[in-house]
Structure 1
Amino acid sequence: MNNDELYDLCAQFLHAYQERDLDTLRQIFTRSEELTALGTHQDLHFLGWSAFEASLVRQFSAIEDTDIQITEFRSHVFAGGAAACVYATTDYRGRVSGQDVHLPGLRLTLTLEHHNHAWRIVQAHWSIPADGSLLDPRPPTLQPETTANAPVSHSSGTVPTQKTQQPTPATHDEFPGGARAAFAVYRKMAAAVTERLNQGTFDFASDIAPHADEQFIEIADEDPLDLTQVKETFTPVIDAISAGASFSWSVQLEHARDLTSDITLLITNARVSLTPSEGQPDTKRYRITNLLTRNASDAWVFLHQHRTEIPDE
């Protein structure tokens, strides 16, 4: 599959979504219970096709007159064509629950595997570079989507919801071997960075860069970031610590899937906190799609991260 084919598949997915075409979506997604789908607020997090399909039905009942255009597109094919990843920024216009919505920075990651001689989407992560969701573009005050048959309230109406299967925490022994090894690298890196930042000895070139592929892309608040731009995001943290603040970073593994022997997909939950010498801590929690690969030195390195901020508990 080349870049044009990946673009066409991404466009097919978006067109099927805007046309509320479930039949096409059933053809391009894997319909296994290993599918993972992350949406535009904390409760849109699904494991398995049946849970994701139920959410699509609910969303399709609320949206109308939708137009989604791809404004930026990148793709990578891995392992000789056994797996691939798409990163896209889109412009979303439509009406949701009777309300006009324009989301110019809607971000999308798709992970694909070759299934039965055809490409299938095995993971999707759709997010907005600000608080909100497709079903409520205001800062989220949504009720959990897990509430059976309860309506979700909006300023312009209600949308009937269906009970959906949220992922349940799993022990690390339940995850495949490659994913466990990759996550161990992730957790060790987070602990080391936390320690070195607080000690004032942090060095991006030695503490972060060796853990990332040269083509690494991070999708976070706005535009996709390369490794040089990621480095710049540490500057305000370093400055705050120099002024007396303390830093903490913890990660948890929610779901994992080995795409090939050398490519693994991790869905993680991260908590990052910066506590000033006086005052309350600034704590943020993220749900993150991570793709890692085993490099020539047999070390696991990050290919991609896509994170969505979720309200702290």
Structure 2
Amino acid sequence: MRERLKVVVTRALPEQVETRMKELFDVELNPTDEKMDREALVSAMQQADVLVPCITDRIDAGMLGQAGERLKLIANYGAGVDHIDVLTAQNRGILVSNTPGVVTEDTADMAMALMLAVTRRIPEGQVAMQSGVWEGWAPTAFMGMRLTGKRLGILGMGRIGQAMARRARAFGMSVHYHNRRRLRPEIEAELEATWWDSLDQMLSRIDVLSIHCPHTPATFHQINARRLKLMKPTSVIVNTSRGEVIDENALTRGLRAGEIGGAGLDVFERGHQINPRLRELPNVVLLPHMGSATVEGRVEMGEKVMLNIRTFADGHRPPDMVVPAML
């Protein structure tokens, strides 16, 4: 019987995923789900053939330089890999894979939910009901913004951006988008989407901005103070991609000054360290990075991880291998 790969998993995964991993590999799990510190991650990389990290595990060049000779694959549990120095890994002969596609619909659902929550002031209504202060219906109470007929601007028109466009069309919204590359004509026609080469020009015309691009050096603070001032004072921003795309301090200032109508955020610039002033604003909905948090999505992510590892173990390139040119 062939010797099984030594696999180290950095966080607790769904039970059925861990059980199957136990059947397939010599796996070391993390039953406490305690986030590994830098030292623990280096130790894991020194003893494993395959490391299975998550977005909470930052793996930089210095750590990769201390990895053991046996580490040959980092099978990331998640689609985003901006927490891994992919170029250094490649230079050291370590492959990197991810789990694209499986949470597309889940994340688009959450983006739509955030858009509705902010524009229709759902959290404010819930607070009024739960606190017992509601005294009955009034003609001018909790008035929000109708989505039908409004313009949605999508920043990043990949799988999730396109899924968001389909949802927005069902709500009667006009879809606009800015992307590194223009979509093929047939996809653009299907989505009834208008492409803007200039992000600045798109921002000045839309009512809602939904962000669906990865965090790269090119997208860091892509939505900054200057661009926020281009937007309508009634406009709403939704972000379910990466927090670093928005200058969070500038957004907070704009919201407090009434220059932006509202925001729905599932991700934040500094991880779980959220600008405390954001918590005080009634026109902001904050969620704990739960855009992809469905049972089905998490299990499918695990299945992708295992497929990548098994394919690698059989001597083939992992089907979801990431290379620096893709980033």
What is the TM-score with the length of structure 2 in the denominator? 0.25
- Which structure has the higher relative contact order (CA within 8 Å, separation 6+)? 2
Larger Rg: 2
Q: More helix per residue: 1 or 2?
A: 2
What is the TM-score with the length of structure 1 in the denominator? 0.26
Q: More strand per residue: 1 or 2?
A: 1
